[in-house]
Chain A
Amino acid sequence: MNTLSALRSFGQWFAEFRQPGRGSSWLVGILLLVTLTMSAANLLLPADSPLYVSTYTITLMGKYLCFAMLAMAVDIIWGYCGILSLGHGAFFALGGYGMGMYLMRQIGDRGVYGNADLPDFMVFLNWQELPWFWFGMDQFWFAVLMALLVPGLLAFGFGWLAFRSRVTGVYLSIMTQALTYALMLAFFRNEMGFGGNNGLTDFKDILGFDLQADGTRVALLLATTLLLVLAFLSSRAIVQSRLGRVIVAVRDAEARARFLGYRTEHYKVWLFVYSALIAAVAGMLYVPQVGIINPGEFSPLNSIEVVVWVAVGGRGTLYGAIVGALLVNYAKTRFTALMPDAWLFALGALFVIVTVYLPRGLAGIFERFAVGMRREKHGEKSWRENSGQLSAGEVSA
């Protein structure tokens, strides 16, 4: 069995998979199945069983899935609407800080200073009282609301200003990068009241459940999977709807869409906000699982890395973003353990190769096979035959 035929048969399977509606459900199924099995293996099996999944793996998986959600958020606006955001890490981190503040307040008087009103870092910096923006953050619902509202409003404000004055393309990318950079500098300041460089850490429990307990970790993983699936389904619904068609039209020929009477900036603003909200949710789920949030998450480098995950997986396909994020992050975990020096070479080369030779990422490779298979099967001629580039009308998820 040689590699080529393996790929061909994979492509055949893939052709099925790519049928809108039915195929994407596969991804949902796989995700749910894998995480459920892992959870069961962690909770039900004894630790010395060969099939036991360690808590370390559970946490790792949870982290990957958060990244996958972030990648999907970037893909919705980049792949479908042509807005390349180099600052999505900002929304992710803001969501994370919202959750972090809640978790910080949950510590209560179990901090090292035993101060029920102030988090530890405020005590040793001699803060006398809780800053106003920390009020209410001890309520879960309020914290979640804030963690969505703040990034949402930021995205709305930024998008409204930018898209209305028709800042597009490269300019927009640079602006988003400056935005996250400015936020990073701001959060590094200790005066801001977010713990400065150390960020927020040493969390104890969430909604009354001990964060260190295996059960809580598994529950967080399952929650992440569930929300990822939900976000995926709703995003798919959006891109397959009429709205989605307009969005793709904006990507491919914004001026033309505008002349046809669409208020393109409205579409862009709302999609941008939607994407920022998904990123914020990803951030919220990320923090309790990794146990720390600090301004490093705002670093422009992180945001650019997300773009690479999407590019590798294949932009303009929601599943591509998810697969890309999972693959690159897995590779990162493996690679950095084996040869830390080579990782940056590999990552850099990945950027170059994917952009120059694989503009549609892994999804592009699979689809080429898939299309070939389908054509073989049905003997039909594909309209896609000559186009290597993404084109209008291609909105399947």
Chain B
Amino acid sequence: MKLKKFVAGLAFAAGTSVISSAVLAAETIKVGVLHSLSGTMAISETTLKDTVLMMVDEQNRKGGLLGKKLEAVVVDPASDWPLFAEKARELLTKDKVDVIFGCWTSVSRKSVLPVIEELNGLMFYPVQYEGEESSKNVFYTGASPNQQAIPAVDYLMSDLEVERWVLAGTDYVYPRTTNKILEAYLESKGVAKEDILVNYTPFGHSDWQSIVSDIKKFGSAGKKTAVVSTINGDANVPFYKELANQGVSSEDIPVVAFSVGEEELSGIDTGPLVGHLAAWNYFQGIDSEANEYFVQQWKKFIGDEKRVTNDPMEATYIGFNMWAKAVEKAGTTNVDAVEQAMIGIEFPNLTGGVAKMNKNHHLSKPVFIGEIQDNGQFEVVWATDDVVAGDAWSDFLPGSKDLIADWTAPIKCGNYNTESKACSGQAK
């Protein structure tokens, strides 16, 4: 008897859920959120999930889009790269979302890419990355190397008169590519090969004694030395601690980091870091009305006065708002229409000025260099005069210097070779 009832209940539940989802599907625009909520990347990515949810709330308060409410569909790819592809497929085929905000690491993006392209989805990727990619189905709202690494090096060279360079990074694709680009860039500026020291360490490296000692020796050659750090996440704390303990101060050998932001600083004792630098497109401490509102809104949404904002959050914010604008402009959520509408869309940055989506699916944004303060915030010491357009393909790598991305007619290609006038990688 019980079994029968159970089965009947099940059938009923299944039926209603089908009906309700059918009804909802007609009335809402679905926003997929593909950020890890568990596993190693949860630390960083949970914040972005919450940011998207906050943006969806805000948009709904404003009356939604095209007269429909937005509905967020959150899944957890659990920092497991194959799972990213699987969940992307789930979002696109089962939940039929209109847009996806997601991914943090390059490997997760690479894993998702074939699925998004196959099913013609639309994804916004909000984290600084190595470039060398432009997909029709992805918009890159984080910085590419020429929007972070190169301005930072320019600053060190011109303002701090640095002549010797340590390029230290975690051994994965972002530091590898960034350092390749920087090496080529530095050499083009006349820096000798022996004045560049490149070093790679594994994820979560904690014993920095030898490396810091090497940096110290490298820096004692009588020329001003700086470290350009693409060291990832957890490995940073022991690195900075060791620097401080071995007596390397930010005045002697400044470290400029591309992966250390407000959120990373909130978990550590910032004492030993004070004076070291970071390059980003956004800092929480930048004074502007929009930023103040955003920070307050975030603290209220999350219910914690101590929570901080960071650069990938701003990238998510810009991406979301641009998408909303593009949907209004196109009058539909159809991927092809929105993709074309996105190009040329402008939206104000939180830090002032206006970000613009370029033909290569990357943004034009300003670049800031900040000095770490003992309260875990940054003091801006330098900023670009104007916005910098993101490069999909670096001009400093031999493999990609002839490549450009242009998603407008007639080229419509993510990797167009300006020499051979052909879109490489496509069946001829």
Binding site for B on A (CB under 8 A): 1-2, 54-56, 59-60, 63, 109-115, 121, 123-126, 185, 188-190, 196-199, 201-203, 212, 290-292, 294, 296, 336-337, 340-341, 343-344
List, in ascending order, chain A residues with CB within 8 A of B180's CB: 124-126
Interchain CA distance A178-B85 in the complex, whole Å? 29
Interchain CA distance A337-B83 in the complex, whole Å? 12
CB-nearest residue of chain B relative to A332?
Answer: B78
| A201 and B111 contact, CB distance less than 8 A | yes
Contact of B132 among A112, A190, A290 (CB under 8 A): A112
Contact of A113 among B80, B90, B403 (CB under 8 A): B403
Between A and B, 22 residue pairs with Cβ closer than 8 Å are A1-B3, A54-B93, A56-B89, A56-B93, A63-B82, A113-B424, A114-B422, A114-B424, A121-B173, A188-B202, A196-B171, A196-B172, A198-B110, A201-B110, A201-B111, A202-B110, A291-B111, A292-B85, A292-B107, A336-B38, A337-B75, A341-B38
Which are the 8 A-B pairs with shortest beta-carbon distances?
A114-B424, A197-B172, A290-B82, A340-B76, A123-B399, A340-B37, A212-B118, A340-B38
Interchain CA distance A114-B400 in the complex, whole Å? 11
Give a binary string over B373-414; 1 marks a CB under 8 Å from any A CB, 0 the rest.
Answer: 000000000000000000000000111100100000000001
List, in ascending order, chain A residues with CB within 8 A of B414's CB: 112
| B400 and A113 contact, CB distance less than 8 A | yes
| A203 and B81 contact, CB distance less than 8 A | no
CB-nearest residue of chain A relative to B89?
Answer: A56
Contact of A55 among B93, B105, B398 (CB under 8 A): B93
Chain B contact patch, size range: 35 or more
| B203 and A188 contact, CB distance less than 8 A | yes
CB-nearest residue of chain B relative to A122?
Answer: B399
CB-nearest residue of chain A relative to B393?
Answer: A112
Contact of A340 among B78, B397, B425 (CB under 8 A): B78
List, in ascending order, chain A residues with CB within 8 A of B200's CB: 190
| A113 and B415 contact, CB distance less than 8 A | yes
| B75-110 residues at the A interface, CB under 8 angstroms | 75-76, 78, 80-82, 85-86, 89-90, 93-94, 105-107, 110
| A292 and B203 contact, CB distance less than 8 A | no
Which among B75, B89, B90, B107 has the highest number of chain A CB atoms within 10 Å?
B107
CB-nearest residue of chain A relative to B87?
Answer: A337
Contact of A337 among B76, B172, B176, B203 (CB under 8 A): B76
B157 at the interface (CB under 8 A from A): no
Interchain CA distance A180-B94 in the complex, whole Å? 36
B1 at the interface (CB under 8 A from A): yes
List, in ascending order, chain A residues with CB within 8 A of B133's CB: 112
Please give the distance in Å from A121's CB to the nearest CB on chain B: 7
Contact of B202 among A114, A126, A185, A341 (CB under 8 A): A185
Contact of B425 among A111, A189, A198, A212 (CB under 8 A): A111
Contact of A199 among B94, B107, B118, B400 (CB under 8 A): B107
Interchain CA distance A79-B175 in the complex, whole Å? 44
B113 at the interface (CB under 8 A from A): yes
Interchain CA distance A245-B397 in the complex, whole Å? 62
| A126 and B397 contact, CB distance less than 8 A | yes
List, in ascending order, chain A residues with CB within 8 A of B106's CB: 197-198
With contacts A123-B399, A290-B86, A337-B75 known, is A202 near B38, CB below 8 A? Answer: no
Interchain CA distance A201-B403 in the complex, whole Å? 21
With contacts A112-B415, A290-B82, A336-B76 known, is A126 near B427, CB below 8 A? Answer: no
List, in ascending order, chain B residues with CB within 8 A of A198's CB: 106-107, 110, 172-173
CB-nearest residue of chain B relative to A121?
Answer: B173
| B86 and A63 contact, CB distance less than 8 A | yes
Give a binary string over B163-207; 1 marks a CB under 8 Å from any A CB, 0 the rest.
Answer: 000000001110011001000000000000000000010110000
List, in ascending order, chain B residues with CB within 8 A of A201's CB: 107, 110-111, 113-114
Interchain CA distance A212-B398 in the complex, whole Å? 31
Contact of B399 among A1, A124, A291 (CB under 8 A): A124
| A110 and B427 contact, CB distance less than 8 A | yes
Interchain CA distance A336-B39 in the complex, whole Å? 11
| B93 and A344 contact, CB distance less than 8 A | no
* Besides A113-B400, A199-B107, A336-B78, 6 new A-B residue pairs in contact (Cβ under 8 A), listed by A number: A1-B3, A63-B82, A125-B177, A190-B173, A196-B172, A202-B110
Which among B75, B173, B203, B417 has the highest number of chain A CB atoms within 10 Å?
B173
List, in ascending order, chain A residues with CB within 8 A of B172's CB: 188, 190, 196-198
Please give the distance in Å from B85's CB to the nearest CB on chain A: 5
Interchain CA distance A337-B417 in the complex, whole Å? 42
CB-nearest residue of chain A relative to B92?
Answer: A56
Interchain CA distance A196-B106 in the complex, whole Å? 12
List, in ascending order, chain B residues with CB within 8 A of A126's CB: 180, 397-399
Interchain CA distance A185-B414 in the complex, whole Å? 33
| B114 and A296 contact, CB distance less than 8 A | no
